[in-house]
Amino acid sequence: MNLAVDLHIHSGLSPCAENDMTPNNIIRMAKLKKLDAIAITDHNSTKNLKCFLKVAQKYDVLCIPGVEITTKEEVHLLALFDHLTKAMEFQEVLDDTLPKIKNNTELFGNQYVYDDEDNIVEDYNTLLINAISLTLKETIDEIVKIGGVPIPAHVDRHSFSIISNLGFISPELKLQIIEISKNYSYSDLLRKHPYLSNYKKIISSDAHCLGDILERDFFVSTSNKNIDEILNNL
């Protein structure tokens, strides 16, 4: 079967996301757009994953635990996990390596943690858009050690991508998949960087507002509708 997925969505915990990016709003929008699975990937935090997984069960939408990390080089890197416990284990890495700088809501926006009824239970205090103290390689190694899937985010962009910031993807990194933005020409990217054909690719929205969540634009072929199958077949 072909499952329609969007594996890069931010909730209201990400300070750059709209405040209506709540669990029920996002899951209902995914259902409206006939997506089979999504991943919640907030900046440097997994603190909203539990409520999203609970809401997703009500609507028969798979919700993959994830996070978008900003590494020491200011490269954005997705990490996807097959179980919430692994994401929570990675949260310990983030807690140890993210600078303890207070969020300024007037400059950066709120960082809302929700319950499964979209009630705000916390406006998280530590600014989440800073870079952690681990390098890209160190971060990838931590993800792989826990059993997650590391994916360089939006490699086509001119900022916060592995190519824009480092110039290329080192073959020494434990990477098999890259993420491309929806409206970017993959053929143009390959002309500039032919070696990228060696990597599998996903297309995601990097949605910070409800309208940006993908339609049925990108599919993963699986034999069963479950998280393990999706991650194994990316």
Q: What is the pLDDT of residues 33-92, one digit of tens each?
A: 999 999 999 999 999 999 999 999 999 999 999 999 999 999 999 999 999 999 999 999
How far, in Å, CA of 111 to CA of 120, rounded? 10
pLDDT at 184: 77
How far, in Å, CA of 144 to CA of 80, rounded? 10
The first and second tokens of residue 189, run together, are 């990217």
Per-residue pLDDT of 10-22, as tens digits, reads 999 999 999 999 9
How far, in Å, CA of 44 to CA of 133, rounded? 12
Q: How confident is the model at residue 185 (pLDDT cuts 50, 70, 90)?
A: confident
**What percent of the chain shows pLDDT beyond 70?**
100
Taking phi over 0 as left and psi of -120 to 50 as alpha, with beta for the rest, 174 belongs to: beta
How far, in Å, CA of 219 to CA of 234, rounded? 9
Closest CA to 149 of 71, 90, 100: 90
- pLDDT over 80 (residue 122): yes
Closest CA to 232 of 81, 30, 60, 35: 81
102 in Cβ contact with 126 (< 8 Å): yes
Q: How confident is the model at residue 94 (pLDDT cuts 50, 70, 90)?
A: very high
Mean pLDDT estimate for the chain? 96
Give the mean model confidence (pLDDT) for residues 138-146.
98
Higher pLDDT, 214 or 187: 214
Q: How confident is the model at residue 182 (pLDDT cuts 50, 70, 90)?
A: confident
